[in-house]
A and B are shown apart, each in its own frame.
Chain A
Amino acid sequence: MKSPYQILGVSEQASDAEIKQAYLQLVKDNPPDRDQQRFRQIQQAYEAIKDGDSRLRYALFHLPSLTFDELLEHAFPQNRVAHAMPAEDFLKLLTSVASDKLPFKTQVKAS
């Protein structure tokens, strides 16, 4: 099972712009009209990591091999904790994470 980063061919440190660029290039080479399966895979990979929010969500809920400490490390990298997140932002982050896109409910996502 390839990770979204592998599908898009970007590093885990890639910026939003780099991820978008990689996505667009892949879409250009794999239009939805040609191979829908392939396009859907690219699209899902992009949606999983397209911005900070989704990358955080992906890091928190799609890497079961990580320990809790590692998860926290993923969520709040040490080098950025120097200026701690304001409480309001943290709450906003939590509510956005706890949205319907998460597998909390009796929901099964098929590809």
Chain B
Amino acid sequence: MSDIIIGIDLGTTNSEVAIVENGKVTIIADAGKKILPSFVGIGDGGEILVGETARNQYLVYPERTVKSIKRLMGQDAQVVMADRQYSPQEISAVILKRLKAIAEDYVGHSLSKAVITVPAYFSDAQRQATREAGEIAGLEVVRMINEPTAAALVYGAGQSEAKRMLVYDLGGGTFDVSVVNVQAGVVEVLSSHGDNHLGGDDFDQQIVEHIQNHLREQHGVEIEGHGKAMARIVRAAENAKLRLSDEPFVQIEEEYLLEHGGTPIHLTLELARSTYEDMIADYINATMDATHIALKGAKLTATDIDEIILVGGSTRTPCIRERLFDEFGFEPHGEVDPDLCVAMGAAMQAAMIAGQSIDTVLVDVTPYTYGTSALGYLDGMPYPYQFVPIIHKNSVLPVRKSEAFMTHQDGQRAVNVRIYQGEDPDALNNIEIGEFTIEDLLDVPAGNIITLTLDLDLNGILHVSAREKASGMEKSITINNAISRFAPEELAGAKRRIEGLFGEEGAETDADRSESAAAAEARNLIKKAESLFDTVSAEDKEDMVDLIETIMAGLESGNDAALREPVERLNDIIYYLES
């Protein structure tokens, strides 16, 4: 039996895990849920929380909860969770570990290999960080594939006639657009473009700012810095956004948001879909511009596209569908759940790598141009940092290209090589992704030939080597962002730390003891209510969450009298549910 390789969509907001069994793709559900919210938190007892429970906790203990960690991947950043610092890789590893456990429960034995999807427009550093997160979680990342490509694989499989598809993938934090040709069992990406910091989170943020302005004008309150109130507003903004997909107006209401000058502040605000669409218009325009760049990269126009595939939860926004309809003249496809199709594609690619099936073959491209800088000309003037592209945007992966350079001084003994990612003829306007020096060159006149080879692998990770032609001396590196990259021993340390987090389950703390009996009762009730979340209807859950929010506000202000009424109502609901 060949090793099972799982397919993982590690998303900004939601994550999923899938496998192929008997030629069929299954999204593995955890307690009936196929979607694991990408939230990580530390619970009351110091135990690690992942998914729905962490997401619920976010309202109450934002300081112990982390969301949208994907946006920080590849950066030299740390997040604080319950007074301890974690790298983005470690937080992502916690999510991966949970997904791995869900899959292991399902198949009944341990698993060690995964295909993980990343946004097509993820940079080298972001891809490296994703691979490290996998290692910390105890998963060998056998391949990283691009999210829109994974989705195209799902739609392309079993397609008999040749089709050109546009994959429009707008997730919680990233946007990708790819033009794909599906023909004769080959899914061939023709071009890719995107923005790795544009997504539904930005839409939420616009609503959050709108609410903040409202509170400032109406109540003279500056809410920034009130952690819990901010968390509630973030959640309220997200809910409003979701409801605006179906309704023209929404009422945003949060009672007892916080106290200001001795009086409680209640938030009541109506938001019209048209107002919201104005707020996000710049973002939508940016995605349409990227779509045109992708079409141009594929040397096609809108009329050449046969189908549009929508991927990512944010594509439920009605104005996105309208804009695409205006551009292309037909309705986008959405038969496969836009939240699930990336994980399904990952599982299909995983099955292919494991040798299970080769029904559909993927051919992908790089969305970036890679090159180096050299003495040259810019706008007709001599310039020391002319960008010399070596691997061009939209080249098919894997790709290896070489370029020859000459030393410009007699007896030059060293060359400094810088590698850039970008399109600008001025290298300094591109992103420098690595540099190295070749020393001890032969003592010869100017014109000593150095060949530089760039090798971009199937995972989109760049390997670089330089060679002095005359001596054969070679120096090679794998480009990695020296800042965000872990050293091997650090990686092992991180792995132990995350394993430790998972091992500490069940411990109790006495943090709540100093509170009044009424407060303690209220907290217990909240826990009980949250434990029922998985089994109740969406409507009941919404009522419960609302009541919990009210109770939490009362707990925060220490006003036991304010607890009585919501506690009673929550008790009634629980009683009704349990009987």
**A-to-B contact residues, CB < 8 Å:** 20-21, 24-25, 27-28, 31-33, 36, 39-40, 43, 47, 100, 106-111
Contact = CB atoms under 8 A, between A and B. Distances in A.
18 contacts: A21-B184, A24-B185, A27-B188, A31-B358, A32-B361, A32-B362, A32-B398, A33-B352, A33-B458, A36-B398, A39-B398, A40-B400, A106-B404, A107-B403, A109-B402, A110-B402, A110-B451, A110-B453
Interface string B416-454: 000000000000000000000000000000000001010
Contacts of A107: 403-404
Given A21-B184, A28-B185, A28-B186, A43 B396 contact: yes
Interface string B351-394: 01100001001110000000000000000000000000100000
Shortest 8 CB-CB contacts between residues of A and residues of B: A110-B402, A24-B184, A31-B361, A24-B186, A108-B404, A28-B185, A106-B404, A27-B186
Interface string B396-417: 1111111111100000000000
Nearest to A111: B400
B193 interface: no
A108 B186 contact: no
B245 interface: no
B71 interface: no
Interface residues of B, number: 27
Contacts of B405: 106
Given A108-B402, A110-B401, 17 more contacts: A21-B184, A24-B184, A27-B186, A28-B358, A28-B361, A31-B352, A31-B358, A31-B361, A32-B398, A33-B143, A33-B353, A39-B398, A40-B398, A107-B403, A108-B403, A110-B400, A111-B400
Nearest to B398: A36
Given A32-B397, A109-B402, A27 B143 contact: no
B481 interface: no
B183 interface: yes
Contacts of A25: 184
A12 to B, nearest CB: 22
Contacts of B184: 21, 24-25, 28
Contacts of A39: 398
Contact of B401 (A27, A31, A109): A109
A45 to B, nearest CB: 12
A27 B397 CA distance: 13
Contacts of B397: 32
Contacts of A21: 184
B401 A32 contact: no
Contacts of B361: 27-28, 31-32
Contact of A106 (B352, B401, B406, B453): B406
Contacts of A108: 402-404, 451
A32 B396 CA distance: 10
A49 to B, nearest CB: 15
Contacts of B363: 27, 32, 43
Interface in B155-201: 183-186, 188
A106 B402 CA distance: 11
Contacts of B401: 109-110
Contact of B458 (A27, A32, A100, A111): A32
Which of B361, B406, B451: most chain A Cβ within 10 A?
B361
Nearest to A26: B186
Contacts of A40: 398-400
A107 B403 CA distance: 5
A40 B456 CA distance: 12
B531 to A, nearest CB: 44
B460 to A, nearest CB: 12
Contacts of B362: 31-32
Contacts of B183: 20, 24
A106 B184 CA distance: 39
A68 to B, nearest CB: 28
A47 to B, nearest CB: 8
Contacts of A100: 389
A76 B417 CA distance: 43
A40 B401 CA distance: 12
A109 B398 CA distance: 15
A52 to B, nearest CB: 13
A32 B186 CA distance: 11
A24 B185 CA distance: 8
Nearest to A25: B184
A39 B363 CA distance: 10
Nearest to A109: B402
Nearest to A37: B398
A6 B196 CA distance: 41
Which of B186, B401, B402: most chain A Cβ within 10 A?
B186
